[in-house]
Structure 1
Amino acid sequence: MKWFLRLPLLVRIPLLAATMIFLIAMLVTQIAVFSLSRQYELLTERVGQVYLDGLSAAVLQPYLANDPEGIRSALQQSLNFYLGIVDRQLALIDQDAGIIAHVSGPNLETPTPPPDTVFQGSKGYAYEPESRSIWVWRELGEKGIISANLDISSFAQERSLLRFRLVLIVALMSMAAAVGGYIVIRRLQRPLKTLSEHLSHAVSFGPQRIDESQMPSEDRQTYSLMQAYNRMTEAVQERERLSEQLAKQDQQALLGRIAATLAHEIRNPLTGMMTALQTIRMYGDNASSRREALDFIDRGIQSLQGVAQATLNAYRPSAPGPDLKSRDLHDVILLVEPHAARKGVGVVHHISLPEPVRLDAFKIRQIALNLLLNAIQTSAEGKTVTLHASNDGNSFTLKVSDEGTGLPRHIESFLLADDTAYSDRSLGLEIVRRLAGELNGRIAVHNQAGSGSVIALTFTMPEDASR
């Protein structure tokens, strides 16, 4: 059965239909042959009864006169005259006395006793397969039974030959009908075969339209089905074209966003480096001031490299930056102080990092820088922005608080990882959330409308130094 299931569906269906046609035709033939045999037996029994009618008229008088010799003589005389029906043996039976007379013809050497069914019914027949003969009997008078054993071998032979011919002819016709049915069904399935081939092609190479010449216009239902497939194919191809266009647009938007992020992040270190250069111009003769300004410029250049790597890390893995030190956060304070001074906002810091922290310094600097710039931007003149940084050995905490009007709810929701809540987000907050996620940090927002807000980030120390 497994081999049949491995055949294509378009072959299995017509093959199964052809097999059913053949089997049903053969079953109907067997039923017809059985009915024909039954009718043949009944007809033979009726012929036998007609034969017994004539025989009864010949032996009735001797039987009523209780003349055994007359009975035997009448039976023997009947055996000598036959036409069409060959009687092998005749018997007259009395229900009280038993067999009164029993004679056999020249084609039978020794008479055989009648079957037991002769003694059990007043009328009937019984077939003997061995001798290919039939026993028939009927009543004679009140207690007598006249029976005859008729040779039906020629009839049986004709019946067997007829059955063989009938089965052979029906088998040939059934096979022809099965083959014809297979061909017709395959022809009817031709449109489905075309559709199946296109579906298989669509799985491997994408959908393609069905040519109009392959669509049966006379079969409206199949024609409509193929038209529906063509419409689906056009829709899929159009969707693929739109997807390609959207992918290109997304790529262009990503490149633009990366460019904007780099410009946004590089601008702030450059401002601090320009301040350091002004310090060198003004106090270049002072070795201590010059050295401090040059160190700041060096760290600023490293920060610019880290900003570029951290920004590109959104789509290209990059090596981690150096461990975070207290000096990195002090540099951030130096970067934002000119901007805060222009707005009249004070900047206070509480940095408690006696030892380096095993976190990416470039990314922490970016987070702190963006949070401080946003806090300064939302603070009014005369207010204060505070940076807290501490490390307890297991986790590093960075807090930025301000005295502004408080974070709007949609910005707070965005920082807590709800993308649908913030549609006008700035690049700074987006970078904060992305970098915090890359460092497995947790963001908490404490917001009081009208009295400022606190944004706290907690980072668990990585187990290995490679982060």
Structure 2
Amino acid sequence: MSLLERIRIIPLTVRVPAMVALLMMVVSLIISERVLDRLNDMQEQHLNGVAGTYFDGLSTVLIPAVLRQDVWETYDLLDRTRTMFQALSPIETVVTGRDGLVLASSDPRKIPVLSRLPDAFSERGTSGDIRVDWQSDTGFGTRPLIYQGKTIGTVHASFDISHLVAERYQVLKTLLATNALLALVFAATGYVLTRRMVKPVTTLAQHMRASAAGTPHTIPLAEFPRRNGELGDLFHGFNALVEAERERSALTRRLAEEEKLASLGRLASSMAHEINNPLGGLFNSIDTLKQHGANEAVRGTSLSLLERGLAGIRDVVQAALATYRPDRSGRALVLRDLEDVRLLAGPQIAGRRQTLTWMSNPADLTIPTLSGSAVRQALLNLVLNASAAAGDNGAISVETRLQDDGSALILSVTDTGPGLPKAATGVLTSPEPWPAAQLAGGLGLWMVRKMVDEAGGHISLGRREAEGLTIIELHLPISLSGGETSHAA
């Protein structure tokens, strides 16, 4: 992770105060540098002024003694003037003659008379300006002694500037303390202001996370920002979005119920037709028994017809009960139970003179992790939709099989229809829930998508233009954590 990415993950309430404090430190550094630079100029100007006065006084009194090369008088003048310039704090003063030899010094034992000027003094030059060495707390200066336009000697002096260094240090401490205090004040102020600014966003984020985890709820007015503005508009927009989502969910549930009732109506009509067909033959058998019941051959034929007719009605009723009765026991899926879909969809397929090919392999497989009623209902919806798409004299094929590695159950429904419309394709394959306003006529497919999502599977669509076939496959994962897949006895 790069440094920039690490900075971005720091909370805003920490980042902003830190940036304010950093900015204040940079500004303080620039201001401190300018203040110290200005103070340095002022101190040097002050030192030059005081030292100039010192050199002027010395030059006036020393010229006669230097002209006479009077060592004792020169030393006496240096000793007496030393006490007169205590404010300058001279450390050492040396007077040389025109030949460069020492004529007198404030410390004769260190620098003897008529000796060569030490290199430390000669390196300081002959300029009248003061050179400051802040590292050694010392200032240095020289002044030539001029008489009638000729240089007759030179005065060399060093000064104690520790009081100026202490002043600089005191100013620096004051600047650092002031800047640090200001940085803390600005950082604290930035933290408080940022917390106040971010609080509405945090509130909104909490409600959004809660909405993503469950049923969305509107934000109470008590949690709204005190002042209306962009954040207030954002809160109102979120509440409007929640209300719209509630209305959409309610509309979806209502449409699903209406679709279910319509499906039940079509199923009841189909069952009535399926049951009504054998009833005529059953009543004829009963009349035949009444009239010719004594005849053993007639009696056997009539009873056999009655038994087959009643068995057919029983199978239709049992298939309807298995598919639409609430699965209170949570019974596992047995692939053989999917045969009920053939009976339920049979009347609609027969009414349109369609052919149905059914392939189940293996038919006796039990899958504990899938709900039998939910899968049957989804497969029935797909078969009924395929029948509606195939049209009269069309062909429908249903296949149930396991994936090659045994990790999923695949339910495949193929029809000879023109293909799925865009809305139906969106309902089955869209990453996001399909808008409720566009679900009209497609609630059966929507219920199929809902079952597949709850099972953790996916839907794949295919089209073979050369053969005119549309293929819908449901891939339902088989999780062994809920119990081993087994074969029914």
What's the TM-score bracket when you normalise by the shorter of the two chains? 0.5 to 0.7
Which structure has the bigger radius of gyration?
1
Q: Which residue does the alignment assign to 1:382?
A: none
Q: Which residue does the alignment assign to 1:17?
A: 20
Q: For the structure 1 residues 426 and 247, does the alpha-carbon distance in structure 2 shift closer, same or farther, using more than 3 Å as the test?
A: closer
SS at structure 1 position matched to 2:418: helix
Q: Which residue does the alignment assign to 2:79?
A: 79
2:155 is the counterpart of 1:147: yes
Give the AA of the match of 2:418. Answer: E
Q: For the structure 1 residues 16 and 207, does the alpha-carbon distance in structure 2 shift closer, same or farther, using more than 3 Å as the test?
A: farther
- Asked if 1 retains the 8 angstrom alpha-carbon contact of 2:97 and 2:152, the reply is yes
- Asked if 2 retains the 8 angstrom alpha-carbon contact of 1:49 and 1:136, the reply is no
- Asked if 1 retains the 8 angstrom alpha-carbon contact of 2:386 and 2:413, the reply is no
- Asked if 1 retains the 8 angstrom alpha-carbon contact of 2:130 and 2:140, the reply is yes
Give the AA of the match of 2:103. Answer: A
- Asked if 2 retains the 8 angstrom alpha-carbon contact of 1:276 and 1:297, the reply is no
For residues 193 and 456 of structure 1, what CA distance do their matches in structure 2 show?
52
TM-superposed CA distance for 1:225, in Å, is 1.8
- Asked if 2 retains the 8 angstrom alpha-carbon contact of 1:49 and 1:137, the reply is no
SS at structure 2 position matched to 1:138: strand
SS at structure 1 position matched to 2:103: strand
- Asked if 1 retains the 8 angstrom alpha-carbon contact of 2:224 and 2:232, the reply is no
Of residues 195, 198, 203, the one that matches 1:198 is: 203
TM-superposed CA distance for 1:357, in Å, is 8.0
For residues 135 and 348 of structure 2, what CA distance do their matches in structure 1 show?
122
CA RMSD of aligned residues (A): 6.1
2:254 is the counterpart of 1:241: no
Q: Which residue does the alignment assign to 2:267?
A: 262
For residues 386 and 118 of structure 1, what CA distance do their matches in structure 2 show?
117
Q: For the structure 1 residues 235 and 418, does the alpha-carbon distance in structure 2 shift closer, same or farther, using more than 3 Å as the test?
A: closer
Identity of aligned residues (%): 12
TM-superposed CA distance for 1:298, in Å, is 1.0
TM-score (norm 2): 0.59
Matched ranges for 1:304-319 at <5 A: 304-310=317-323, 319=333
- Asked if 2 retains the 8 angstrom alpha-carbon contact of 1:87 and 1:151, the reply is yes
For residues 174 and 378 of structure 1, what CA distance do their matches in structure 2 show?
89
- Asked if 2 retains the 8 angstrom alpha-carbon contact of 1:137 and 1:148, the reply is yes
2:141 is the counterpart of 1:136: yes
TM-superposed CA distance for 1:18, in Å, is 4.2
Q: Which residue does the alignment assign to 1:231?
A: 236
Q: For the structure 1 residues 440 and 75, does the alpha-carbon distance in structure 2 shift closer, same or farther, using more than 3 Å as the test?
A: closer
SS at structure 2 position matched to 1:208: coil
* Structure 2 gaps, min length 5: 211-216, 290-297, 365-375, 399-411, 428-437, 448-457, 474-485
Matched ranges for 1:22-421 at <5 A: 24-25=27-28, 28-60=31-63, 63=66, 67-68=68-69, 70=70, 73-81=73-81, 82-85=83-86, 86-93=89-96, 97-104=99-106, 110-111=110-111, 114-116=118-120, 118-119=122-123, 121-123=125-127, 124-127=129-132, 132-141=137-146, 146-152=154-160, 155-157=161-163, 159-182=164-187, 184-186=189-191, 188-189=193-194, 191-205=196-210, 206-211=217-222, 215-216=226-227, 223-284=228-289, 285-310=298-323, 319-320=333-334, 322=336, 412-414=418-420, 419=425
Q: Which residue does the alignment assign to 1:220?
A: none
Give the AA of the match of 1:302. Answer: D
TM-superposed CA distance for 1:148, in Å, is 2.9
For residues 131 and 171 of structure 2, what CA distance do their matches in structure 1 show?
26
Range with bigger deviation, 184-193 or 421-430? 421-430
For residues 71 and 196 of structure 2, what CA distance do their matches in structure 1 show?
82
Give the AA of the match of 1:298. Answer: A
For residues 366 and 130 of structure 1, what CA distance do their matches in structure 2 show?
96
Q: For the structure 1 residues 122 and 253, does the alpha-carbon distance in structure 2 shift closer, same or farther, using more than 3 Å as the test?
A: same
TM-superposed CA distance for 1:249, in Å, is 0.9
- Asked if 1 retains the 8 angstrom alpha-carbon contact of 2:54 and 2:85, the reply is no
Give the AA of the match of 1:36. Answer: L
TM-score (norm 1): 0.61
